[in-house]
Amino acid sequence: MSRARSAVQDEIRQTRPFSSRSEEAAVALVRTADLLRRALTAVVDPHDITLQQYNVLRILRGARDDGLPTLEIASRMIEHAPGVTRLLDRLQSKGLVRRQRSARDRRQIRCWITAEGLDLLEGLDRAMPDAARRFMSPLPADELDAFVDELDRLRAAIS
């Protein structure tokens, strides 16, 4: 017995059924992630930064006065970013981060957020969570908890 067409099939105008429910779920997840990324990008775009740059600034704000080495920043990123050095170059050119080679280990470069970077984040501290809340608003709290748990399970199985 064949299933009814799914919303994602209609959205992408796919005429043939997916080869499996897993494939359909994966496509739906990627499509949804893209819509969320676009909604969040609309918040940071007017500030002339990308979502990945926003993520780096938040990571550095959390590090406080200690700063972080470049590789540590890369390991904490929400999305894998192979070009963290380039991200930091752009943020530094905008005056949002500063970098310094470690005196103890010349191979290591430590990074800090600047006052300008902190000001920028302060301006986004309400807008970004609001955008996330709006996007997730169709899910009631109990379903949102279950959704987060399911996503945790998927990521744990891959790790």
Cβ 117 vs Cβ 79: under 8 Å: no
Domains contained in the chain, CATH given: 46-158 (1.10.10.10)
pTM for the full model?
Answer: 0.89
Q: Contacts by 39-46 with C-beta closer than 8 Å and gap 24+? A: 39/131, 39/134, 39/135, 40/128, 40/131, 40/132, 40/135, 42/131, 43/124, 43/127, 43/128, 43/131, 44/124, 44/128
pLDDT confidence of residue 7? 87
Cβ 87 vs Cβ 94: under 8 Å: no
For the stretch 129-157, pLDDT in tens is 999 999 999 999 999 999 999 999 999 99
Instruction: Count CA atoms closer than 13 A to 92's CA, side-chain side.
Output: 13
For the stretch 62-89, pLDDT in tens is 999 989 999 999 999 999 888 899 999 9
